[in-house]
Amino acid sequence: MLETDVAVVGAGPAGLSAALHASQAGARVIVVDEYTRPGGQYFKQPPAAFRVLDHSAMGRDHQLGFDLMRRLERGQIELLNDTLVWGAFEPGTLEIYRRGECQQVRGSRIVVATGAYDRPMAFPGWTLPGVMTAGAAQSLLKSQWVLPGSRVLMVGTGPFQLPVAAQLVKAGATVVGVLEAGKVSGWLRQVPAVWSHLDKIAEAKDYLGTLLRARVPMMYGWTILEARGSGQVEEAVITQVDDQWRPVSGTERTLQVDTICLGFGFLPSLQLPRLLGCSSRWDPHLASWVTGHDQDQRSSVPEVFVAGETTGIGGHDVALVEGAIAGVRAAADLGLLSAEEAGKRLAGLRPDLARHQGFADFLNRTFAIRPGIYDLIREDTLVCRCEEVTAGAVASAARQWEGNLKAIKRVTRAGCGQCQGRICGQLVAQVAARATGKSVEELGVDTPRPPIKPIPMDALATLA
């Protein structure tokens, strides 16, 4: 049993920021992270054995992460890498799996900063090798320095597609097109919200510049209809969509590609907060549940703070400030900061948070998923990849059992596989909602059970 003042789960920007701020206030901190190198997804690092010759080529995010990591090394923070939090049986106690063994980390306060993952979007052929998330492509590029393919189609919505497309181009791939489901006219109405974020606009301009120079077609109001190929992606059928993102028949075109990157935004990682008893709330723009919290990042469980993408998609700027608030507040809870000092520090952080959150809200509203995209899913399209369950089977079960997600899971096995419902959960909910006329929000959430990621029996055998 490892005991500490503040146990932080996740070494991405939110977790590292929380750790730093708690530690600066005098707290002992243990950071637990699933991956080998800290940084999470936003600040993903190349392997230690790689020597990057030109850091600026890695982008602004990478630079920020690099700085954060250096500050981490100087603090009084213990980082447990390659360590999975798989369960929680008692309040304040995290069950960890590390180096083949199971033990516990107990924190007087816990900060959950488990991040997000790319939103999966289903369509015929989406399971073919060569179809991957934009995050997977970026991870291969930036962290492994490997090209995911040579003729790449970017599909999705939102600004995250731009850096990935630009990085692909710079690495020598042919990007045959960037399909943005939304139309530009919709964005222009939102422009007043972004005046205070000229740095972001400058960044976007850089990426667009790279793409324009490489003559990459930017296609607005377009999306994927189908991926085709024998054994792997060979073609993509694309289509125009209306303003609700419904495919417009008769506008199909076929492109020769070997890789399709899906960039439809992100979904918060909710398993650990839910396991700890933190309540979720429905975010209509994200069309997802997110972990609820107060202005101090405190969840519905008083000893548990939540920061970063698990509370809603906000990007690393929001994550850094939320983490800071959580770290300060946790330290204040433990009496390490006077109420006055804590108040001062928090007051200093809140304007930044408001500013960054405002921009994040703008992005989430502008690039919200429109319901017509789920028209792509046909009866025989798989919605549960692990257990190979079709949308038709899910819809049928939904109609039989009033959309009850548990019943659908038991009767179809959708969600019973190794991804434990992460990939299919919201797709199943969308299909069930359409089949029953209920809203996705009405259908509710599933309770995760331990282990929240698969773990070998011989590791469990080491539990005292």
Restricting to residues 29-68, name those near another protein by CB under 8 A: 34-36, 41, 46-54, 57
CB nearer another protein, residue 189 or residue 378: 378
Is residue 205 within 8 Å of residue 194, measured between CB atoms?
A: no
The alpha carbon dihedral of 363, 203, 263, 374 has a sign of positive
CB of 151 to another protein, least distance (A): 9
Is residue 143 within 8 Å of residue 50, measured between CB atoms?
A: no
CB of 325 to another protein, least distance (A): 26
CB nearer another protein, residue 337 or residue 452: 452
**Is 87 among the residues that bind another protein (CB under 8 A)?**
yes
Of 387-426, binders to another protein (CB under 8 A) are: 387-388, 396, 400-402, 404, 406-407, 410-411, 413, 416-420, 422-423
* Strand-strand pairing, 288-291 and 280-283: antiparallel
**Is 149 among the residues that bind another protein (CB under 8 A)?**
yes
Pick the stretch among 9-17, 196-204, 428-436, 448-456 that binds another protein (CB under 8 A): 448-456
Residue 40: name the closest of 17, 7, 74 by CA.
17
Of 313-352, binders to another protein (CB under 8 A) are: none
CB of 359 to another protein, least distance (A): 25
CB nearer another protein, residue 131 or residue 321: 131
**Is 117 among the residues that bind another protein (CB under 8 A)?**
yes
The one among 63, 89, 343, 379 contacting another protein by CB under 8 A: 89
DSSP string, 151-191: EEEEEESSTTHHHHHHHHHHTT-EEEEEEESS-HHHHHTTG
CB of 179 to another protein, least distance (A): 19
The one among 28, 246, 385, 434 contacting another protein by CB under 8 A: 385
Q: From residue 254 to residue 273, what is the string marking binding to another protein with x (rule CB under 8 A)?
A: ----xx--------------
**Is 378 among the residues that bind another protein (CB under 8 A)?**
no
**Is 83 among the residues that bind another protein (CB under 8 A)?**
no
The SS3 of residue 102 is: strand
CB nearer another protein, residue 230 or residue 249: 230
Of 8-27, binders to another protein (CB under 8 A) are: none
C-alpha distances out from residue 202 to 83, 164, 354, Å = 38, 16, 21
Residue with tokens 């809870």: 333
User: In terms of C-beta density within 10 A (0-12 exposed, 13-18 middle, 19 or more buried), how is residue 440 classed?
Assistant: buried
Is residue 16 within 8 Å of residue 29, measured between CB atoms?
A: no
CB of 240 to another protein, least distance (A): 26
CB nearer another protein, residue 39 or residue 221: 39
The one among 147, 204, 214, 237 contacting another protein by CB under 8 A: 147
DSSP string, 410-453: HHH-TT-STTTTTTTHHHHHHHHHHHHT--HHHH--PPP-S-SS
Q: How far apart are CA 397 and CA 415, in angstroms?
A: 14
E strands, 88-142, where?
A: 93-98, 101-112, 116-118, 131-133
